[in-house]
Structure 1
Amino acid sequence: MSAESGLPLERRIGKKSAAVMEKHLGITTVEGLLGYFPRRYMTRAELTPIAGIPRDEEVTLLARVVSSTTRSMRARRGTITDIVISDDDGAQGLRLVGGQDYHGTVPGTLKISFFNAYKAKAELVPGQRALFSGKVTSFNGALGLTNPDFVLLDNDPFANGSKDPEKIAAMPIPVYPATAKLPTWKIQAVISTLVETADLEALPDPVPRLVARREGFLSIAEAYRLIHQPETGADWKRAQERFRYQEALVLQTSLARRRAAVAAEEATARKPDPAGLLAAFDADLPFTLTAGQVDVGETLAAELALNHPMNRLLQGEVGSGKTVVALRAMLQVVDAGGQAALLAPTEVLAAQHYDSIRRTLGPLAADGLLGGLGGSGSVQVTLLTGSMSGPARKQAMLDAAAGTAGIVIGTHALLSDNVSFYDLGLIVVDEQHRFGVEQRDVLRAKARKPPHLLVMTATPIPRTVAMTVFGDLETSTLDELPKGRAPITTHLVGLSENPAWAGRIWARAREEIDAGHQVYVVCPKIGTDDDGDFSPGESGPPPDEAGPDARELASVTAVVEHLLTEPALAGIALAPLHGRQDPDTKRAAMAGFTANETKLLVSTTVIEVGVDVHNATLMVILDADRFGISQLHQLRGRVGRGGLPGTCLLVTALEPDHPSRRRLEAVAATTDGFVLSQEDLKLRREGDILGASQSGGRSTLKLLRVIDHGDLIAQARGDAQRLVNMDPGLAHHPELAQAIDKYLNPEKEAFLERG
């Protein structure tokens, strides 16, 4: 690390400014503040479209003052100055409705209220253009700001010393991610001082010279100058291009090193046995594997037979047959004398896997010996969860440790220190997004040699996300549904425009039950005393969003209470299922539904993955707007699994023009998970694309956007792989190695470890 990059800020900008940056932005070094890039750029000629600004967020907008009035407060002494600002479209609207004294809601205008603000009264006169920074609120349909910070543009505070009016008019204005106490122009003033005082030429450049020359990149010093002090739009675009590639290269090189490190480990080769359990299983399969299942199966078989660890991600639509592919891989390992562990995120899913795998194996699943047909011609499948009784749990642990159990299925209980394996050869992680690298590594450490790894997800992942988030894994995809899977029809049920449909939902459920089928009802809450059951990182709205969403959401307890008195469901056996129930109650509820004794199951999202009840044909998702796209897609995959057509009703009380309805319309329009995953990325807010909300901070990515920069990510991945192939330790690229070390600090490590 160069001395300049790690230099304390106060050495370059003074103690006072450095203290402000540390307090509000958490930045303490020269390189840290130089890397605090503008969120976007404005020009003086382009006012911010007011209709598009987000509610309940800190914003910076450029607007023109169209009116200013000051009045005395009624309840106490002092004055309120009301300023109406416009993006010029709004000014035209005001003229059409009758002038500056109009106080209604006109698109393109926004009202700002200042309390006892003599400066605002004096400076914000009609015609004046200014930058405003504050939190946007909405009251009775009208947008507003209260006591925002502002700076007048006509005084040219961003001119960087230029006196040329034409040059100033064209000069971009950087807009930084601001805070309530620190507006963008104050950040810009401090960074401008730093750009002038720092030794930019001494900063380390992670991009190898040959690559920088090939791409025609700016020097790192010039890139820092132009991203913070551009004179033209072309300036900041060239700077962004350089830093965006740098970011992609650092990330992809770190992933390439991980892949190389895994490839260098020595694993036990688990070669196929032509007379083993897998061959017997394939011979008795009552169905034909899809072409995709055969293809992926051959890939896994070849990698398991190598003496370095397989490290693979298997993604596929709900019902694409991932579990059968994983089971065949587990049987190959058992045939070769090893054990397989399947890690599931919930007890419901672990139990489902246990029952499903034993049922699929048929007579091959018995209390046999490890080693397949070399023993008794069967394999013991064992379940291990945290809620098991003491004796059962102890026996399961003994079977795993002694090698009696060839396949061990469990939850986080598998990660316990007192759980050990005789010879763990394969780890299968189901629903990868629920686990991180750290939890995988806990299981890996229980093996004599590095085990093979297969992680599965039913959440479709676009190629660029797979390259970025799961870049340490090779990727296989199952995109063909097995024969016998029926189509799922999805309908958006808008109660706002059709309130009578509320009763029709339960009549529809009764029709399905009378036809001999079963129904899921999904609620976002367990009871009235919780905040909801939402997946982190989803594109759903925050629980505290204002407006119609402030209503009481459907809860399992309240819905069960209501349905017990619903005339359309009189005499129907129904049961609740949620995470607060004790394990025995949960198991009984699920068993009753699986056995078709319970006709209607009212549940939270605990049934989101893995639950496999072939007779369930209808799913009703109440307050569906509270869930994200991938969650809704996963949930509806629970119906239509037994050859019977499935129906999913997305019920919402939101108005038709509410932005959250767009997600529901997207889910109703297609059952293609890959199309939906792209739509999901488009709808997420900036910074959430790679799950920053899971760690509560801003996105780890600065300029790189996986949905927009796929070609760049692929190019950086290729460059990174070549660099690591030629120089695994990056001895000839110390600045790139240092950048990776800084990138993978503890806070950002979560980026690579998330799901």
Structure 2
Amino acid sequence: MVALSDRLDFVVGEKAARQLDEAFGIRTVNDLLRHFPRKYSTGSTVLGEDSEPPEEGEHVTFVDEITNAELKTAKRDPKRKYLVITLGHRRPKVTATFFNPRFIKKGLTPGVRVMLSGEVGYYKGTMQLTHPAFLILDSGKGSRSLAKIAETSKDDSGGLDLSAFNREFFPIYPASSKMQSWDIYACVRQVLDVLDPVPEVLPEEFIRAHDLTSEDRALRDIHLAENAADRDRAQRRLTYDEAVGLQWALVARRHGELAESGPPAPRKDDGLLAAMMARLPFELTAGQKEVLETLSAELTGTRPMNRMLQGEVGSGKTIVSVLAMLQMVDAGYQCALMAPTEVLAAQHARSVRDILGPLAMAGQLGGTENATRVALLTGSMTQQQKKQVRDEVASGEAGIVIGTHALLQDAVDFHRLGMVVIDEQHRFGVEQRDRLRAKAPEGLTPHLLVMTATPIPRTVALTVYGDLETSTLRELPRGRQPITTNTIFIADKPRWLQRAWERITEEVRAGRQAYVVASRIDESDKNNGDGEGAPPATTAVELFDYLRSGPLSGLLLGLMHGRLPADEKDAVMGAFRAGEIDVLVCTTVIEVGVDVPNATVMLVMDADRFGISQLHQLRGRIGRGEHASLCLLATRMSEDSKAGQRLKAVASTLDGFKLADLDLEERREGDVLGYAQSGRTITLRFLSLFEHRDIIETAREFCRSYYETHPDDPGMALLAAQFTDTERVEYLDKA
């Protein structure tokens, strides 16, 4: 008998174990039993001569006598042979084709009784199997997988018991060229025949409360259940296993940080934070005040804060983070704010300096007595500029350090790093966060605040960012103007696009500015979104040339994209911000962080090539000033197409959280989880972020409470192992 932790080579043999390892990374009994079927083929029974013909693509099994065997020569390659056998006297006729038949042609001859199993196809009324698995019934020789099953499927007289192949549901496994589904099924049967009863991993009261089948029954039925009801119960139990395993891994990580030393920063009544609160030119919203109180309390403690702040574009996340950083500076610590682009980093530095005023002018004329300094570090700076900034950081003169990935370089040393802020956190991996936090003094774990303007569905937040506590800003600051969004279906109403250019001209004549966004830079850019039936994308370069000599010829146009040198990007953005450019033709380089209050209209060309969340992000670049704004989504797809319906959905609401749920519904979790945080795919076989919110939340609450009393529960550790012991989600082990 074997246990889940046993190595496979002792159970299925060295050759099969090696192939499973090479193809799927499967090494133990537990690994194999959790390589679940990807689907179940119904009707995969032994078909008699009077059976109804199966549908094309169905997985079928035949047992019959070979009535004809013909060795043929390929027309295109005379050296290539293939064997075609005819099975019995069936109607419709049944044939099977075997390529490279040198070693099997002597066994597959007329008069031999065989079993054939594979997916059926039809050609000119003939039922065909191409290179199916086969078994010669008299000798037991044949395809490795069927031969293995035959060895363990004898009746009382020692003959072959066909019931092993005669099933209502047949498991079809994720397979490879070296390990076919039949091979995997044979290994699974071998393992289950000798498997000890599987110990229960979930508490008995949890199983009863949710009417779950046992772990042992689930792991057997998911592979061998004879009916759909048993299979469904097994799948439901394994869905709970995935939810609990992932949540346990996350709660274990959160509790693991309780023992770490965070930098305590009690709030002062006479420091920079108090001075900044007194000179704020506006009143914080109720939501901002609530989040700030939460952050302030956590920064006071010795447990490192790990919090995600999400909120709509313009909801005021940045000022909240600045106030939190000032509390750390008051306590003698430095703060690092990392942004994904130089444009955004420079804008953060500019806005932080502006709002702090004399509080950010340490050592300068006009600076207050307790002022700090705000430093900016980006990759495009000269070596001399970088050295000067690094000196300010190393000496502690700079209390707030803002930068891009340049902050991660070994040459950057902090004097006393106490807090890390990551803006647009989805642009960074946990490894990068980790490297920045590691620049703190030994024995100190900096507080962490990650911010995102891309609203995250609750289920994604619980399963991907569950190691972070979440705060949300939903209300917009007073004075924000509404944004009207309309969709232009160019093929149906080409005049509307012409009207859009006229509308942009009218806005500029009224003293305002506009964005025109394209999905590609030029023809050398990859065909972002090009798909079957989709017209080619209009590039930013050709759009710029067309507009300045055509519909917008009387206006001042600028071109902005990711391949421009950093100094050119800065110059273009500076000119646009200063009002020296009327219309900025650009790519998604302006997607985050760009703040030009005078820009009131945006036209997105080929909007069907952008995701829902991305369109919402782009739209957030307007509506930031005193005037109402207009966003136009132009597409050459039809209104009733899937893309057209998606664009209409974006146009119908400004609620980013509603759009995030719609995005999850459309893309499903494969895309959403993707390479989130870790840079590696998270594999959830049964748990669906879209369908199983209730199970995820149940698992979250259970793990939170159960960990308090059973932190070393071995069953929970086993469920969590798939999310902590593999490279797929290595980020869960990061601190």
Q: TM-score range by the shorter chain?
A: 0.7 to 0.9
Task: State the match for 2:247 in structure 1.
Answer: 252
State the SS of the aligned residue for 1:425. Answer: strand
Task: State the match for 2:168 in structure 1.
Answer: 171
Q: Deviations over 1:21-47 (max 9, x none)?
A: 4565453443222112233446559xx
What is the rounded CA distance, in whole Å, between the counterparts of 2:607 and 2:303 in structure 1? Answer: 45
Contact 2:668–2:689 (CA under 8 A) maintained in structure 1: no
What is the rounded CA distance, in whole Å, between the counterparts of 1:633 and 1:430 in structure 2? Answer: 17
Q: Which residue of 215, 228, 236 corresponds with 1:233? A: 228
Shift of 1:405: 0.8
1:548 corresponds to 2:533: yes
What is the rounded CA distance, in whole Å, between the counterparts of 1:121 and 1:573 in structure 2? Answer: 81
1:743 corresponds to 2:728: no
Shift of 1:394: 0.9
Q: Which residue of 218, 225, 232 corresponds with 1:223? A: 218
Shift of 1:181: 8.4
Task: State the match for 2:541 in structure 1.
Answer: 557
Q: Which residue of 349, 363, 386 corresponds with 2:379? A: 386
Contact 1:486–1:640 (CA under 8 A) maintained in structure 2: yes
Q: Deviations over 1:114-135 (max 9, x none)?
A: x99887999894999x99599x
Q: 1:640 to 1:753 in 2, by over 3 A?
A: farther
Contact 2:377–2:404 (CA under 8 A) maintained in structure 1: yes
Task: State the match for 1:683 in structure 2.
Answer: 666
Task: State the match for 2:107 in structure 1.
Answer: none
Q: Deviations over 1:357-382 (max 9, x none)?
A: 1122233221349xx99x71422111
Q: Which residue of 387, 390, 400 corresponds with 2:393? A: 400
Q: 1:405 to 1:651 in 2, by over 3 A?
A: same
What is the rounded CA distance, in whole Å, between the counterparts of 1:175 and 1:488 in structure 2? Answer: 50
Return the letter of the residue paired with 2:533: P
34-43 vs 277-286, greater mean Cα deviation: 34-43
Contact 1:252–1:471 (CA under 8 A) maintained in structure 2: yes
What is the rounded CA distance, in whole Å, between the counterparts of 2:56 and 2:409 in structure 1? Answer: 49
Q: Which residue of 659, 678, 700 corresponds with 2:642? A: 659
Give ranges in structure 1 of 5+ residues lacking alignment. Answer: 46-58, 65-75, 79-114, 135-145, 534-542
Q: Which residue of 598, 607, 628 corresponds with 2:581? A: 598
Shift of 1:680: 0.7
Q: 1:717 to 1:446 in 2, by over 3 A?
A: same
State the SS of the aligned residue for 2:472. Answer: strand
Return the letter of the residue paired with 1:590: M
Q: Which residue of 706, 710, 722 corresponds with 2:689? A: 706
Task: State the match for 1:294 in structure 2.
Answer: 289
Q: 1:319 to 1:125 in 2, by over 3 A?
A: farther
State the SS of the aligned residue for 1:687. Answer: helix
Return the letter of the residue paired with 1:461: I
Contact 1:301–1:329 (CA under 8 A) maintained in structure 2: yes
Relative to the length of structure 2, the TM-score reads 0.80
What is the rounded CA distance, in whole Å, between the counterparts of 1:555 and 1:753 in structure 2? Answer: 42
Q: Deviations over 1:578-632 (max 9, x none)?
A: 2211111110011011111011112121111111000111111122122111111
Q: 1:317 to 1:187 in 2, by over 3 A?
A: farther
Q: Which residue of 560, 569, 574 corresponds with 1:586? A: 569
Task: State the match for 1:283 in structure 2.
Answer: 278
Shift of 1:182: 7.1
What is the rounded CA distance, in whole Å, between the counterparts of 2:513 and 2:91 in structure 1? Answer: 64
Contact 2:29–2:191 (CA under 8 A) maintained in structure 1: no
Task: State the match for 2:652 in structure 1.
Answer: 669
Contact 2:20–2:27 (CA under 8 A) maintained in structure 1: yes
Q: 1:741 to 1:23 in 2, by over 3 A?
A: closer
Q: 1:14 to 1:501 in 2, by over 3 A?
A: farther
Contact 1:192–1:229 (CA under 8 A) maintained in structure 2: no
Return the letter of the residue paired with 2:354: R
State the SS of the aligned residue for 1:650. Answer: strand
Task: State the match for 1:479 in structure 2.
Answer: 474
State the SS of the aligned residue for 2:454. Answer: coil
Task: State the match for 2:104 in structure 1.
Answer: none
Task: State the match for 2:435 in structure 1.
Answer: 442
Contact 1:339–1:405 (CA under 8 A) maintained in structure 2: yes
- The structure with the largest alpha-carbon Rg is 2
Shift of 1:210: 4.9
What is the rounded CA distance, in whole Å, between the counterparts of 1:492 and 1:120 in structure 2? Answer: 60
Contact 1:311–1:474 (CA under 8 A) maintained in structure 2: yes
Contact 1:174–1:188 (CA under 8 A) maintained in structure 2: no
Q: Deviations over 1:398-447 (max 9, x none)?
A: 11111111111111111111111122122111111111222222121111
What is the rounded CA distance, in whole Å, between the counterparts of 1:691 and 1:419 in structure 2? Answer: 31
Return the letter of the residue paired with 1:548: G
Contact 2:335–2:399 (CA under 8 A) maintained in structure 1: yes
Contact 1:60–1:131 (CA under 8 A) maintained in structure 2: no
Q: 1:278 to 1:692 in 2, by over 3 A?
A: closer
Contact 2:19–2:178 (CA under 8 A) maintained in structure 1: no
What is the rounded CA distance, in whole Å, between the counterparts of 1:194 and 1:29 in structure 2? Answer: 13
State the SS of the aligned residue for 1:660. Answer: helix
Contact 1:17–1:190 (CA under 8 A) maintained in structure 2: no
State the SS of the aligned residue for 1:240. Answer: helix
Q: Deviations over 1:714-745 (max 9, x none)?
A: 222222223332244x1xx2343244344323
Task: State the match for 2:26 in structure 1.
Answer: 27
Give ranges in structure 2 of 5+ residues lacking alignment. Answer: 45-54, 61-73, 77-81, 96-116, 122-127, 135-145
Q: Deviations over 1:308-356 (max 9, x none)?
A: 2221111101111001111111111112222111111111110111111
Contact 2:390–2:412 (CA under 8 A) maintained in structure 1: yes
Q: Deviations over 1:458-477 (max 9, x none)?
A: 11112222111111111111
State the SS of the aligned residue for 1:575. Answer: strand
What is the rounded CA distance, in whole Å, between the counterparts of 1:488 and 1:147 in structure 2? Answer: 60
What is the rounded CA distance, in whole Å, between the counterparts of 1:672 and 1:60 in structure 2? Answer: 46
What is the rounded CA distance, in whole Å, between the counterparts of 1:229 and 1:563 in structure 2? Answer: 64
Q: Which residue of 597, 605, 610 corresponds with 1:622? A: 605
State the SS of the aligned residue for 1:520. Answer: strand
| Matched ranges for 1:191-590 at <5 A | 193-194=189-190, 196-201=192-197, 203=198, 205-212=200-207, 214-368=209-363, 376-448=369-441, 449-531=444-526, 543=529, 545=531, 547-549=532-534, 551-566=535-550, 568-590=551-573
Return the letter of the residue paired with 1:27: I
Task: State the match for 2:37 in structure 1.
Answer: 38
Shift of 1:664: 1.7
Q: 1:307 to 1:241 in 2, by over 3 A?
A: same
Relative to the length of structure 1, the TM-score reads 0.78
State the SS of the aligned residue for 1:590. Answer: helix
Return the letter of the residue paired with 1:443: L
Q: 1:287 to 1:334 in 2, by over 3 A?
A: same
Q: 1:391 to 1:193 in 2, by over 3 A?
A: same
Shift of 1:169: 11
Return the letter of the residue paired with 1:583: A
Shift of 1:707: 2.2
What percentage of residue pairs aligned between the two structures are identical? 46
What is the rounded CA distance, in whole Å, between the counterparts of 1:133 and 1:578 in structure 2? Answer: 52
Query: How many residues were matched structurally?
Result: 657
Shift of 1:544: 5.6
Task: State the match for 1:84 in structure 2.
Answer: none
Task: State the match for 1:88 in structure 2.
Answer: none
Q: Deviations over 1:233-292 (max 9, x none)?
A: 221121122212222222111111111122222222211111222222222222111110
State the SS of the aligned residue for 1:614. Answer: coil
Shift of 1:195: 5.0
